[in-house]
Amino acid sequence: MSMSAEGGGPQPSEATPLKQGGGQGGRQARVGRQDTAQIYWTFGGAGTRDDVTADLPPASASQTNILLLSNKGRAGIDTTTGWLSTAYTALLICGWYFFNTIANVENKRTLNMVSLPCTVSAIQMLVSWVWFVTLWGTGIRKLPRLMSWEVFWVAIVPQALMHIGNHVTGQLSFAAGAVSFTHVVKANEPVFTALLSMVLLKQTFSIWTYLFLLPIIFGVALAALKELSFTWIGLWGAIFSALFSALRSVYAKRVMSDKKALGENMTPGNIFSLLTIVSTFLSLPIALVVDYHELTSPEGAWAEGVREYGWDTVIWSAARSGLFFYLYNETAFIALSRIHALTHAVANTLKRVVVIVTTVIVFRNPITPLGAIGSVIAIFGTLVWSIAKAKLG
């Protein structure tokens, strides 16, 4: 299980264990091995290994029993088979689309008031805690328990670093230009995924699959050349955001092959909650270092935004964007663990279209005919590439 662009969803795929060392002297280390630690590193709660809900590959997705608000056995409702399973998955995808769209709109409004991407990112991470802490505190969701500190440092922390890198660089791009442009550029994530898979996983595809990356590159280039609100920060922020997202996906394939080795109650929702916790502690010092002057100076961006829009307006806008940001990631995280890779590709493509069209309408961003053509080529190029990867290998 790995996560897709915008920090949000797992990529249904095969996983391989992380290897350390080399030759006969090297060792293969599965995170969470009991011979390295006999104690659990826990966020609380008790459970058995049988309670672990694995993030199964698409072929076994119908066997999962992952509920948005509860874990296995808590709700008493079977969402694993029949029409209820289909309806539940469809509901999750609709929630993913809705929360993602609202999060993008609220996020851009916040950045328009205070153009401090790192600070806004930190606020959003903090607000996210309201959701999962409430679920854990009320017992609606079982607390995750990591098998060992090795799991934490090898599986969770690196992914959190990539998650915050994806989010902060994406915020830099959103602040510098149009939301639609950022999403078009981030459509080139498959290019990075293919390259990183080759380097880190030694995984290669057919020559035809690689050729299907060319429309994505061409579409992004055309959209960038014809973007009326083009800025270099907006372009490079989106590129690095896509790179971090692809790196996180590839890394997750290496280290998260065995969910039971990670610990107990390691459901998709709980895994994302753990990533958010670590990302919060990473984002706070980044915001203080990067935005210190703008936060403390009477003439800084924060003071200026508060004077113009009001303290409560700025805070509540950032809080709303943070809550919707977390909800969209969690619904995507859970929904995409239940569907086939091709269904995921179609859903992700349509999601990007919905976000782009909505933000263009809401913020009235002008777009040239050639820019629109480039956007269409890039976005649907990702869908064609996903199909080619599944069919051609």
pLDDT above 70: residue 245: yes
Give residue-wise pLDDT tens across range 286-337: 999 999 999 999 999 999 999 999 999 999 999 999 999 999 888 887 877 7
CA 245/CA 275 separation, integer angstroms: 13
Which is nearest to 333 in space by CA: 272, 255, 275, 276? Answer: 272
Which is nearest to 228 in space by CA: 273, 184, 290? Answer: 184
As a whole number, the mean pLDDT across the chain is 79
Quick one: tokens of 278? 């670590």
Q: Are the C-beta atoms of residues 283 and 122 closer than 8 Å to each other?
A: yes
Q: Which residue has the higher pLDDT, 155 or 63?
A: 155
Using 50, 70 and 90 to split pLDDT, how confident is the model at 81? low
Distances (CA, A) of 236 to 58, 148, 193, 216, 264: 33, 37, 17, 16, 39
* Residue 286: alpha-carbon gap to chain centroid: 19
Using 50, 70 and 90 to split pLDDT, how confident is the model at 76? very low
* Angle between helix 232-255 and helix 157-176 axes, rounded to 10 deg: 160
Question: What pLDDT, on the 0 to 100 scale, is given for residue 234?
Answer: 92
Question: What pLDDT, on the 0 to 100 scale, is given for residue 258?
Answer: 73
Which is nearest to 63 in space by CA: 71, 53, 73? Answer: 53
Place of tokens 């011979």: 35
pLDDT above 90: residue 274: yes
Give residue-wise pLDDT tens across range 202-236: 888 889 889 989 999 999 999 888 887 889 999 99
What one-letter code names the amino acid at 88? Y
Place of tokens 């994505």: 216
Q: 105 CB contacts (<8 Å, ≥6 apart)?
A: 179, 358, 359, 362
Q: Are the C-beta atoms of residues 92 and 331 closer than 8 Å to each other?
A: yes
- Which of 134-143, 256-265, 356-365, 383-392 ranks highest by mean pLDDT? 134-143
Please tell me the pTM assigned to this model.
0.76
Q: Are the C-beta atoms of residues 156 and 274 closer than 8 Å to each other?
A: yes
Question: What pLDDT, on the 0 to 100 scale, is given for residue 49?
Answer: 33
Question: What pLDDT, on the 0 to 100 scale, is given for residue 285?
Answer: 96
pLDDT above 60: residue 33: no
Give residue-wise pLDDT tens across range 346-390: 888 888 888 999 988 998 888 889 888 999 999 888 888 888 888
Question: What pLDDT, on the 0 to 100 scale, is given for residue 173?
Answer: 95
Question: What pLDDT, on the 0 to 100 scale, is given for residue 182?
Answer: 92
What one-letter code names the amino acid at 28? Q
pLDDT above 80: residue 168: yes
pLDDT above 70: residue 79: no
CA 35/CA 27 separation, integer angstroms: 13
Question: What pLDDT, on the 0 to 100 scale, is given for residue 80?
Answer: 54
Distances (CA, A) of 184 to 95, 224, 228, 354: 22, 9, 14, 12
CA 339/CA 381 separation, integer angstroms: 21
Mean pLDDT along residues 164-185: 93
Question: What pLDDT, on the 0 to 100 scale, is given for residue 136?
Answer: 96
Distances (CA, A) of 74 to 49, 206, 247, 277: 16, 45, 35, 24
Adjacent-strand bridge partners of 27: 20
Q: Which residue has the higher pLDDT, 83 or 177?
A: 177
Adjacent-strand bridge partners of 41: 146
Question: What pLDDT, on the 0 to 100 scale, is given for residue 112?
Answer: 94
Q: Which of 40-49, 154-163, 328-337 has the lowest mean pLDDT?
A: 40-49
